[in-house]
């Protein structure tokens, strides 16, 4: 077991951002933060180049790096919440049309099936991808141009306002 001790402590390097970078770029066994800095453990001693790269990354992290990572992550959490909310709006609209006798269960299933990939992307918070996915949706049968346009416009407006 090899321990790479990095000092002095960089308060901008604790937590998710540095760990994510380390996990994506180097094979190591663990990373332990302490009052003096961080200890990165390896199963065997890494090369001087790898040690230097890790030390430089840790030392160079700024508050902006932490903030940028948090903003993106928090943004996607909000995108997912908004996606669930909009998906429920679509469901409610379809249920109301069923209750009013305007759509059958088979027609609702057809619409949901055609929009399945788009809905999945919205639920994951991938609104921009959902907009592109809408281009492959076939508009016919129970899925009307009007309903398609309503959904596409909502998605595109969301992307414009939030990205």
- Give domain limits for the chain: 2-61, 73-162
Q: Which of 21, 6, 122 is nearest to 68 (CA)?
A: 21
Peptide bond before 91: cis, by omega within 30 degrees of 0? no
- 63-66 contact pairs (CB < 8 A, 24+): 63/12, 65/12, 65/17, 66/12, 66/15, 66/17
From first to last of its 163 residues, the chain has per-residue pLDDT tens of 899 998 888 877 766 678 788 888 888 888 888 888 888 999 999 999 998 998 888 888 887 776 666 667 777 889 999 999 999 999 999 999 999 999 999 999 999 999 999 999 999 999 999 999 999 999 999 999 999 999 999 999 999 998 8
pLDDT at 14: 62
Q: Which of 27, 118, 22, 13 is nearest to 64 (CA)?
A: 13
Beta pairing class for 38-42 and 30-33: antiparallel
Query: At which residue do the structure tokens 């994506």 appear?
Result: 24
d(CA 159, CA 126): 9
């Amino acid at each position: 077991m090899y321990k790479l001790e990095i000092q002095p402590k960089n308060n901008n390097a604790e937590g998710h951002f540095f760990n994510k970078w380390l996990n994506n770029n180097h094979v190591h066994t663990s990373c332990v933060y302490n009052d003096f800095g961080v200890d990165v453990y390896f199963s065997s001693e890494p090369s001087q180049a790898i040690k230097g790269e890790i030390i430089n990354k840790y030392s160079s992290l700024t508050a902006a790096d932490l903030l940028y990572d948090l903003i993106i992550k928090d943004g996607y959490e909000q995108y997912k919440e908004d996606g669930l909310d909009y998906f429920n709006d679509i469901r409610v609209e379809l249920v109301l049309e069923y209750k009013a006798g305007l759509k059958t269960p088979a027609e609702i299933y057809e619409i949901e099936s055609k929009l399945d990939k788009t809905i999945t992307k919205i639920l994951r918070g991938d609104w921009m991808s959902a907009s592109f996915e809408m281009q492959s949706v076939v508009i016919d049968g129970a899925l009307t141009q009007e309903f398609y346009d309503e959904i596409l416009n909502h998605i595109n407006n969301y992307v414009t306002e939030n990205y």
